[in-house]
């Protein structure tokens, strides 16, 4: 894929989760697009560095547990948007389920993962700014990618 801008990228959420951890199973779900997404931010897996420092040698480094990261969207708050409503529902303290997400890049490349939503905090800035939210969406599965058709 050649370099491209993020313009046209879409973020969507499903109330269901796939029957298997495959792109086919993710594609079988029904998704609701989240409107007003300004940016999604950095996301992806990172493995924790575990170190051991022996008295008689250099520091040894090992791979520890993997954290699949989080989706960090900034969203223009719209109480009438079905995708944002689903995010708010998922973020309620009594909701602990997983939700499937789909990221569609401008070239049609897809990314799928399951998230647990821990919050929907809003930001109210100055008079010349839009009220935004930054949902806390922790990724719980590897991110599966599917090339554009």
* Sign of the CA dihedral with 13 first, then 17, 19, and 20 last: positive
Task: Give start and end residues of each alpha helix (H) in 1-148.
Answer: 23-27, 82-91
pLDDT over threshold 90, residue 4: no
On whether residue 79 sits in a domain, the answer given is yes
Q: The pTM is what?
A: 0.90
- Domain of 134 in residue numbering reads as 10-43+72-146
Give mean pLDDT, residues 93-101: 96
Question: How many Å apart are CA 74 and CA 7, to the nearest integer?
Answer: 14
On whether residue 61 sits in a domain, the answer given is no
CATH number at residue 119: 2.30.110
112-131 tens-digit pLDDT: 999 999 999 999 999 999 99
pLDDT at 132: 97
On whether residue 51 sits in a domain, the answer given is no
pLDDT at 2: 75
On whether residue 62 sits in a domain, the answer given is no
Question: Total domain count for the chain?
Answer: 1
8-32 tens-digit pLDDT: 999 999 999 999 999 999 999 999 9
Question: How many Å apart are CA 134 and CA 11, to the nearest integer?
Answer: 13
31-89 tens-digit pLDDT: 999 999 999 999 999 999 999 999 999 999 999 999 999 999 999 999 999 999 999 99
Q: Which two tokens stand for residue 72?
A: 């960090």
pLDDT over threshold 60, residue 97: yes
Confidence of residue 1 (pLDDT cuts 50, 70, 90): low
């Amino acid at each position: 894929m050649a370099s491209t801008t993020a313009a046209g990228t879409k973020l969507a959420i499903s109330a269901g989760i796939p029957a298997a951890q495959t792109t086919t199973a993710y594609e079988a779900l029904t998704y609701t697009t989240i409107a007003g997404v300004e940016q999604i931010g950095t996301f992806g897996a990172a493995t924790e560095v575990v170190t051991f420092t022996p008295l008689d040698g250099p520091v040894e480094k090992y791979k520890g547990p993997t954290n699949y990261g989080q989706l960090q969207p900034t969203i223009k708050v719209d109480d009438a948007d079905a995708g944002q409503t689903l995010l708010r529902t998922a973020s309620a303290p009594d909701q602990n389920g997983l939700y499937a997400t789909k990221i569609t890049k401008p070239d049609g490349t897809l990314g799928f993962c399951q998230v647990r939503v821990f919050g929907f905090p809003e930001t109210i800035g100055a008079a010349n700014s839009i009220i935004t939210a930054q949902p806390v969406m922790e990724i719980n599965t590897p991110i599966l990618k599917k090339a554009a058709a």
